[in-house]
């Protein structure tokens, strides 16, 4: 379908940075967690090359934090995820798929441990707060579930470390991947982590004081001038090349973690009290479909995203884009396991594509 | 902010009618329950006059149904809402605000009773399914919570009854407001109710067979040609004139029902097991803010939606629009009760507006 306008209302919430984003060459948004998420500035391709070479500042306020505090906070978080959270240290973030009693994926946040009695779930696009509240009420847990006024700003790209060090100090260079520190900005301590939704390296700054939003944005741009800093956003090209999954696009609550290649986060013999573990033990090794990569040598226009074979539907394309770097059309697809066990290629609109594991390996991407 | 493009992806789900909507003069969408909702066709004003004079077909698939079935289904629905649901008859819909243990509004669906063990919550924009699932798991209830493949199509406007009768038969004329019947369309029985998100009268057809989506759309247009049927959508002008609240715009989970004028749905002495009733009993009569109507004699451009008085913020505009019929600018605003008890007018950008109850009375709207 052709691009249409997005109607803006209070329900599609602006962020603390929207004024600044609107002062750039922003072209398009999507709505994510009831909030505006920029999707394109100059063009998808120009944004992509810039991200891979320089540094970008991304308004990812849509990564809402579901804060769980109180004596039962560890218990509630562990009930929600099949990943063992018991070894997490303060300041660490864990990629933690959340699964319901049937094993379906409710969301795939980064679970950040802020103290022994405080977790933030930095969520993808679904109202995790409501699930957490329902569980807390039903189980009678001594927790408080809230959405604090926290607005993450991502700094991504190969020059991100240089820029973040100029704003927050040299100590950011010691932060390990998926770890973070409380660091000062204009008198306010905020969580700064080495993370972000690209593979170009970078940081996420969890701004916890909306009054500093413009100051933080402006200082990153002032100090990043010689690094060619620009406003950016999660980039669809970079995301697919890097094999990063998107909840709602590639995964939803009809999927279990095994289908989505998330096996590594689940230890079936873990001695933890997680709602989904019994269902996942029963599902392990029996998945009837699998998320895979597809590679085509030419640009594709998927009018119908269903994949057919001998007049049977054998899968569905969940995300796809042309890669200007590799000169290939890349796709993620949920394909029937039976088909995958017999075939290593598919045909869509008469074009043959090869099937490969995710994330894509450099070997299959290079011509 | 100026209009921007909406980026479309699988996550912002298309509906079973999107192909048909795209064949019209659709201009803009919003995203609602992770799905596309049309917001404008010819223009807001032209759409408005047409809706008030003729009949429109609205793709309101975004009104997702949270289906709750099983022996404990009545218990779960009653836990979720402070409205007494015990007297509902099969086929009836009840406007039923859902409130959490603090009294905050989680959503404000129509709860439709389909049988003694089956409810549909026809929801506004939040993931009620997740809250229901969390409660069901935590309380150990014998229910199944699902989102069935149901795509409501609204037929709204003064000629709606004539059109729906041509498609579903004369018996639709006997359906009372907020009641419905199972009626046949091409061999499939589906729920048809007298309801919809306008005050122009009309029906909602809860299509439960996606294969019939195009046939239903096409038949409504074929049989409505002489009624000047058009594609339409919930119209912001008509909504504000009619005083219809929008969850996410005018209400959210930081509000309780008393602040929003929903007192009539809550009997504080009801002998029901509802999660929020204890909190609501404590809150009753003590609200510190109130949703009210504002009327201005000229068009307003609310750059800042906060309402100030003597340098103090005393409220916030939640929705607003120019009414071409009444030649007034209408707004809903959440105002501090203390201000309301002393003042009957406000000043924004130097313009005086009067404060009035919601819904607006004809007396205050007429010049």
Predicted complex ipTM: 0.97
Residues of B in contact with A106 (CB under 8 A): 130
Mean pLDDT of B8-33: 96
Q: Any idea which fold B65-141 has?
A: Alpha-Beta Plaits (3.30.70)
Q: Which of B28, B134, B140 sits opposite A4 (nearest CB)?
A: B28
- The boundaries of every CATH 3.30.1360.120 domain in chain A are 18-60+150-240
pLDDT given for residue B1 in this prediction: 72
- The boundaries of every CATH 2.40.30.110 domain in chain B are 247-365
Binary contact (B1, A7; C-beta < 8 A): no
Nearest one of B84, B86, B54, B7 to B156, comparing CA atoms: B54
Q: Which of B5, B126, B246 sits opposite A127 (nearest CB)?
A: B126
Q: Which stretches in chain A have pLDDT values below 70?
A: 367
pLDDT given for residue B366 in this prediction: 85
Predicted confidence band at B3 (pLDDT cuts at 50, 70, 90)?
A: confident
Residue B91 has pLDDT above 90, yes or no: yes
pLDDT given for residue B303 in this prediction: 79
CA-based torsion, A158, A163, A166, A167: positive or negative: negative
Q: Is B367 helix (H, G, I), strand (E, B) or coil?
A: coil
Residues of B in contact with A136 (CB under 8 A): 134, 138
Greater confidence (B367 vs A58) lies with A58
Binary contact (A126, B125; C-beta < 8 A): no
Residue A219 Cα, gap to closest chain B Cα (Å)? 23
Q: Is B215 helix (H, G, I), strand (E, B) or coil?
A: helix
Domain B247-365, classified CATH 2.40.30.110, yes or no:
yes
Predicted confidence band at B349 (pLDDT cuts at 50, 70, 90)?
A: confident
How far, in Å, CA of B96 to CA of B93, rounded?
9
Q: Any idea which fold B18-60+150-240 has?
A: Gyrase A; domain 2 (3.30.1360)
Residues of B in contact with A140 (CB under 8 A): 138
As a whole number, the mean pLDDT across chain B is 96
- In contact, B17 and B61? CB cutoff 8 Å: yes
Binary contact (A1, B8; C-beta < 8 A): yes
- The boundaries of every CATH 2.40.30.110 domain in chain A are 288-367
Binary contact (B248, A34; C-beta < 8 A): yes
Residue B185 has pLDDT above 80, yes or no: yes
Residue B269 Cα, gap to closest chain A Cα (Å)? 22
Q: Which of A39, A134, A138 sits opposite B7 (nearest CB)?
A: A39
Predicted confidence band at B297 (pLDDT cuts at 50, 70, 90)?
A: very high
Binary contact (A1, B10; C-beta < 8 A): no
pLDDT in tens, A329-347: 999 999 999 999 999 999 9
Residue A170 Cα, gap to closest chain B Cα (Å)? 38
Residues of B in contact with A34 (CB under 8 A): 125-126, 248
> Hey, which CATH number is domain A65-146, 3.40.50.150, 3.30.9.90, 3.30.70.1400, 3.40.309.10?
3.30.70.1400
Distances (CA, A) of A139 to A97, B136, B312: 21, 10, 42
Q: What is the pTM of this model?
A: 0.97
- In contact, B367 and B326? CB cutoff 8 Å: yes
- The boundaries of every CATH 3.30.70.1400 domain in chain A are 65-146
Task: Select from B11, B19, B76 the residue whose CB has the most chain A CBs within 10 Å, as the one to mutate to test that interface.
Answer: B11
pLDDT in tens, B223-254: 999 999 999 999 999 999 999 999 999 999 99
Binary contact (A131, B128; C-beta < 8 A): no
Domain A288-367, classified CATH 2.40.30.110, yes or no:
yes
Binary contact (B133, A134; C-beta < 8 A): yes
Q: Which of B12, B34, B318 sits opposite A10 (nearest CB)?
A: B318
pLDDT given for residue A67 in this prediction: 98
């Amino acid at each position: 379908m052709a691009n249409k306008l997005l109607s803006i209302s209070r329900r599609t919430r602006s962020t603390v940075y929207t004024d600044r984003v609107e002062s750039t060459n922003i072209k398009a948004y999507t709505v994510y967690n009831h909030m505006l998420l920029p999707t394109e500035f100059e063009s998808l391709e120009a944004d992509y090359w810039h991200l891979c070479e320089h540094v970008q500042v991304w308004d990812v306020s849509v990564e809402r934090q579901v804060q769980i505090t109180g004596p039962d906070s560890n218990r509630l978080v562990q009930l929600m995820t099949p990943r063992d959270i018991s070894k997490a240290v303060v300041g660490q973030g864990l990629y933690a798929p959340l699964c319901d009693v049937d094993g379906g994926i409710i969301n795939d946040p980064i679970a950040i441990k802020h103290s022994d009695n405080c977790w933030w779930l930095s969520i993808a696009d679904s109202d995790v707060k409501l699930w957490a509240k329902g569980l807390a009420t039903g189980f009678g847990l001594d927790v408080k579930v809230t959405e604090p006024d926290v607005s993450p700003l991502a700094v991504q790209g190969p020059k991100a470390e240089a820029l973040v060090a100029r704003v927050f100090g040299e100590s950011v260079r010691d932060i390990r991947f998926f770890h973070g520190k409380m660091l000062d900005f204009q008198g306010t301590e905020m969580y700064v982590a080495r993370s972000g939704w690209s593979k170009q390296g970078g940081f996420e700054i969890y701004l916890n004081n909306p009054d500093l939003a413009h100051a933080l944005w402006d200082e990153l741009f002032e100090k990043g001038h010689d690094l060619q800093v620009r406003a950016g956003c999660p980039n669809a090209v970079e995301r697919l090349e890097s094999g990063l999954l998107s909840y709602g696009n590639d995964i939803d609550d009809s999927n279990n973690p095994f289908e989505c290649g998330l096996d590594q986060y689940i230890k079936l013999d873990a001695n933890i009290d997680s709602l989904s573990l019994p269902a996942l033990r029963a599902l392990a090794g029996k998945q009837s479909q699998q998320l895979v990569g597809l590679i085509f040598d030419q640009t594709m226009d998927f009018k119908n995203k269903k994949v057919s074979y001998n007049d049977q539907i054998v899968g569905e394309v969940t995300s796809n884009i042309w890669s200007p770097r590799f000169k290939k059309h890349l796709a993620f697809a949920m394909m029937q396991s039976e088909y995958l066990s017999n075939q290593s290629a598919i045909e869509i609109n008469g074009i043959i594509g090869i099937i490969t594991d995710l994330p894509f390996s450099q070997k299959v991407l290079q011509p």
